[in-house]
Amino acid sequence: MQKDTVKIFDTTLRDGEQVPGCKLETKQKLVIAERLDYLGVDIIEAGFPISSPGDFNSVVEISKIVKNASVCGLTRAVKKDIEVAAESLKNAIKPRIHTGIGTSDSHIKHKFNSNRKDILERAIAAVKYAKKFVDDIEFYAEDAGRTDNDFLALVCEKVIDAGATVLNIPDTTGYCLPSEYGKKIKYLINNVPNIDKAIISCHCHNDLGLATANSIEGVINGARQVECTMNGIGERAGNTSLEEVVMVLRQHNELNLDTNINSKLLYDTSQMVSELMGMIVQPNKAIVGSNAFAHSSGIHQDGVIKNRETYEIINPHDVGVNESAIVLTARSGRAALAFRAKNIGYDLTKIQLDKVYNEFLKFADIKKEVTDNDLPHIIKLSNI
């Protein structure tokens, strides 16, 4: 059966770049934008053009070089923001303006000192104004995760009438449970009368470590766009991580959903973003962490050497990692030692292996990780 496509909206250069210490120069942003386009993302959020002349310039330059993806600029529901974003996007082949406003009672009261009626009017006016400049308008209902569903549905209906093509439903504070976020998306599908005229987008933050789970619940319940960043970087605990969403959909055939991402480029792209932004990828990060395909305990190593699938659900080649790593530590077993010794030319008999293993354990108790360079020395000490 033909799979439904979930669009990938990458916000590494906007929400990701908001992280303290991650600020990039235009030149570096261009390198990342080009790579994201090549990776197969559908939309690149290139920046928040009104925020600074530098960001404006980055959106202008990115718009000139991106060949396939839509290029998007963020705005508040403010005329000047929209005009500046439209100007910055004028060279884009597929420009998108991303405008919106906070819709939760908390945002309405504390950020805007306003009321629902006024917020609804501002939302409609922003979309109508943006529509004068470009066709593709994404509306975000900031803090939708904590917004009353009836009001959210009303806002969605009215902004679609005003011309919005995509409805972004952000869990801005990363508060929602997956079941709750999924129900919210379903509620909109069932209660916004003109919902067939727009795509629902998930934009989840990771404050409780639920960003990917929430986005997946969102698409299971009918959303067809996910907003994410490479390595999950972003405000506070970050955004939904692109590589996780792509691989969850790819590994779970039964969902009948897929993306346009070339997953073989994921690892290299992750490394590139990490280096340019100066943000290390935690070793245990799903999909792209240095330990994601490393096995160090004896039981797991024995299984993986017999058949990779015993302890790996993803083929490392599918995400651009050369091969699984069998790491030698004091928790490793004979199978791993024999495997690694054979890799560097020592085909040990069972008796030889027993002897080398005893020496190996003494060595491994002192040194955290035993490398290929250490093995000849250990073998020599074993007197075999």
* Residues of the shown chain interacting with ligand KIV in the complex, contacts defined by CB under 6 A: 15, 140, 142, 168, 170, 172, 203, 205
What, of Zn ion, ligand KIV, none, does residue 140 touch, CB below 5 to 8 Å by kind?
A: ligand KIV
Partner whose footprint covers residue 95, from ligand KIV, Zn ion, none (CB < 5 to 8 Å by kind) = none
Strand partners, 5: 258
Using CA atoms, how far apart are residues 376 and 47, in angstroms rounded to an integer? 53
Q: Enumerate binding residues for Zn ion (CB under 5 A).
A: 15
Q: How far is the CB of 235 from Zn ion (least distance, A)?
A: 6
- Residue 203 Cβ vs ligand KIV, minimum distance, rounded to whole Å: 5
Q: Which is nearer to ligand KIV, 18 or 57 (CB)?
A: 18
Distance CA 375, CA 353 (A): 12
The smaller minimum CB distance to Zn ion, of residues 15 and 136, is found at 15
In whole angstroms, how close is the CB of 171 to ligand KIV at the nearest point?
A: 8
Toward ligand KIV, which CB reaches closer, 47 or 170?
170
Closest CB 281 distance from ligand KIV, rounded Å: 22
Kindly tell me which of 129 and 357 has the beta carbon lying closer to ligand KIV: 129
Cβ nearer to ligand KIV, comparing 12 with 301: 12
Q: Which does 269 bind (CB under 5 to 8 A by kind): ligand KIV, Zn ion, none?
A: none
Shortest gap between Cβ of 216 and ligand KIV (angstroms)? 18
Among ligand KIV, Zn ion, none, partner that 145 touches (CB below 5 to 8 angstroms by kind)? none
Q: Which residue lies nearer to ligand KIV by CB, 142 or 157?
A: 142
What residue number has its CB nearest to Zn ion?
A: 15
Provide the 10 A C-beta neighbour count for residue 170. 24
Least distance in angstroms from the C-beta of 12 to ligand KIV: 12
